[in-house]
Structure 1
């Protein structure tokens, strides 16, 4: 008997073009749902709906750290 394995492709990084499904702000959290599909959230709505996200998520890509990273100032 042979065994089949399946690999899941990693989610791409979020970009400035990815928008929150609640308010349209830049998304910093991608939630892949157990039922299939995905939702995108800004940091505010990710915090607001955090408990429900944990219940429904199969995978979460959290890039909220980008909000506090120091970036070099270019003259």
Structure 2
């Protein structure tokens, strides 16, 4: 079984919706998405419905 390591987001990581600084990583079976705080809050309910794990930047 593969393990996922948590990589800290940097200033170069950008929201996949608006290109603002990424604050949350959404882990999905098919990959990952990065979101700013605004878009993470907006899309969190649906992301959780489809089984995403939301990981805020430490």
Q: TM exceeds 0.5?
A: yes
Structure 1 gaps of 5+ residues are 1-5, 67-75
Structure 2 gaps of 5+ residues are none
TM, length-normalised to structure 1? 0.67
Deviating 4+ runs (over 6 angstroms): none
Q: How many residues align?
A: 57
Of the two, which has the highest radius of gyration? 1
2:10 to 6, 15, 25: 15
In the alignment, what sits opposite 2:37?
43
**Alpha-carbon shift at residue 9 of structure 1 (Å):** 2.9
The structure whose RCO (Cα within 8 Å, separation 6+) is larger is 2
In the aligned structure 1, how far is the partner of 2:41 from the partner of 2:35?
A: 9
**Alpha-carbon shift at residue 50 of structure 1 (Å):** 1.1
CA RMSD between the two structures: 1.5
